[in-house]
Structure 1
Amino acid sequence: MSRVLRVVRQPFAAPMLARGWQRAVPVLLALGTIAVLGGLTIIWAARLTVPYPVYVSELGAQGAPTATPFAIALLCIAAGGFSIALASGHIRSSARLLNRWAPAVTLGFAAICFVVASQVTCTAACPVPIADPRSTVQDLVHTTTAVLGFAAACYAMLQVAFAGTVPRVARFSLVSCFAVAAITIVGGLLALVHVATDVGAWLELIGTTVAIAWLAIYSLTLVRVPVVAD
């Protein structure tokens, strides 16, 4: 059990794993960056076809003309997140409270959440779970996984912000963490109280864009960080 926990905490600590992944890391990072940026491009392209403000999840709602592109976009982002997570197992946070597991594990969990959100989309008009009587279990599952995915992404940013091996992206990670958290929380609250939902919709899209941009920049930064055994 202790060996399993060590692998989870430091996936590249074992020399054999470190040597094996050194060649794969650049490929994984390239594929991951292309995938997440491709997913973001699809989301923006889909959003620009809608002539009125909609929340990101509404792009994938049942019956929406943008439902298929939205699902593809989320799967691209999830696949890219998995790829970057696999390539970043050697990154550790230096802050004790953030060092329980590697940022790679957090990113992997976020990717799983987005896979679920891509397959279990919200119903028409995306009613807010519990608060809206029209909401269903499907809406609850989609919203919960989407929120958990964003929360995990923010936590990964916070972990990276205190990782000594990537000082180039540390400050950007901290700013991105607070920006994404604040923007998405405000956007979600506006949707919950049904006030200025057009503003809330744009805020959610901006928060999504910042989160994916951070992931791409983090990936590109990792290209210069060698995989070494402890």
Structure 2
Amino acid sequence: MSLVAQELVAAAGRRRAAGPRARARSGGAAGGRVLRLRSALRRLPLGLLAFAQAFAVAWTVYPRTEAPAPQPGDHAWWHGSGPVEPAAFRPGLFLALVTVAFCLMLPLLVLAARLLRRLVGSGGRALPAQLGFAAAATAAGAVVTVPLVLVARAFSPVAGGPLGAVVAADAVTALRLCALAAVLLVFAAGAPWAAGAGAASLRRESGSVQAESS
């Protein structure tokens, strides 16, 4: 019986010694999962802003794919019969414009976020950081308008006026819409690097826990 009792006591001691290590391992794994989740959520506002601005730019540029309606005094209006119906909306073409704008917008926003983080630091909730990124995002929307106008004019059956005047008019409209989207999202969620400090601290804590467990 003494040998059995000794074995039970030794097994209980081993379980007590292994308990903190198991908890440390589980805590490190949970910390890694939380870190990955927070990293994904930190990128979500940037993707939402890129999509919102791409949609706004495409909505602004899409009318350039249609021929203008005949006006009184035009030859087509004078010889036309019946009321002039507006051109049918082409959802495939509109989605293509949104996709092109998004593919151009997202890299510009990522580049602006990286540059501004180096300039203003990791304080994504500070007012200068928010204003700076909102201004950079608005400028990115105006930049994307230029190639998107060229794409839209390629699908237009008419010339559509001088290119410079068309780009200037659409860029001003896109600036207003993109500024509204950028200000709303940045002041609601902070700059894209707002959660960077918390993620770094969580990474250090998870690393220390894993080091202790090993």
TM-score, normalised to structure 2, is: 0.27
TM-score, normalised to structure 1, is: 0.25
> Which structure shows the bigger proportion of residues in helix conformation?
2
Q: Which is higher, the Rg of structure 1 or of structure 2?
A: 2
